[in-house]
C-alpha cells in the first residue's frame, strides 16, 4: 500500500503559528518546509513519508483542512 500526502499551501496557515499536524504525528513524518508559501509561512513538509502509517491524525487535526492523506494500492 502506498501513501500520498498532499499539503495545500494555499490553505495552510503555517507551522510556526499552528503546526498541529507535526505535533500530532506519531511517526515524525513532517519537517518545517524550507521555503515560504505565498502567505509568508512555512508549510509542513512530509520528508519522512516512508514512515507514515496512515493514521490520518494530521488530516483530522488540521484546522484548515489543508492536508489530504490518500492510500493507494501500488504494485511494485
Partner 1 sequence: MNTTHDLDKYIRPSARRTTNCPGCGNGILAQSILRAIDDEKLDMDDFTFVSGIGCAAWIPSPFFYADILHTTHGRPIAFATGIKLASPDRNVMVVSGDGDLLAIGGNHLIHAARRNINMTVICVNNYIYGMTGGQVAPTTPMGLKTMTTPFGNLENFFDPCKLAIGSGATYVARWTVYHALQITRAVKTALNHKGFSFIEIVSQCPVQFGRKSGMGSTTAMFDHYKENAVNISKAKDMTEQELAEKIVVGELLNIEKPVLDDELAKLRTSFRERSGDAED
Q: What are the grid coordinates assigned to 39, written together?
A: 502567505
Closest CA to 19 of 54, 63, 69, 53: 63
* CB contact at 8 A, 42 and 30: no
- Kindly state whether residue 63 participates in binding partner 1, applying the rule CB under 8 A: yes
- Kindly state whether residue 47 participates in binding partner 1, applying the rule CB under 8 A: no
- Kindly state whether residue 55 participates in binding partner 1, applying the rule CB under 8 A: no
Closest CA to 45 of 35, 55, 56, 60: 35
Pick 47 or 69: Cβ nearer partner 1: 69
Looking at 3, 27, 41, 55, which residue binds partner 1 (CB under 8 A)? 41
Q: Which residues bind partner 1 (CB under 8 A)?
A: 4, 6, 8-11, 13-14, 16-20, 23, 41, 60-65, 68, 70
Amino acid at each position: 500500500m502506498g501513501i500520498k500526502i498532499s499539503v495545500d499551501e494555499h490553505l495552510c496557515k503555517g507551522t510556526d503559528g499552528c503546526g498541529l499536524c507535526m505535533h500530532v504525528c506519531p511517526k515524525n513524518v513532517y519537517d518545517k518546509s524550507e521555503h515560504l508559501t505565498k502567505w509568508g509561512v512555512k508549510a509542513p513538509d512530509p520528508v519522512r513519508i516512508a514512515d507514515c502509517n496512515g493514521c490520518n491524525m494530521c488530516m483530522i487535526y488540521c484546522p484548515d483542512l489543508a492536508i489530504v492523506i490518500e492510500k493507494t494500492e501500488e504494485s511494485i
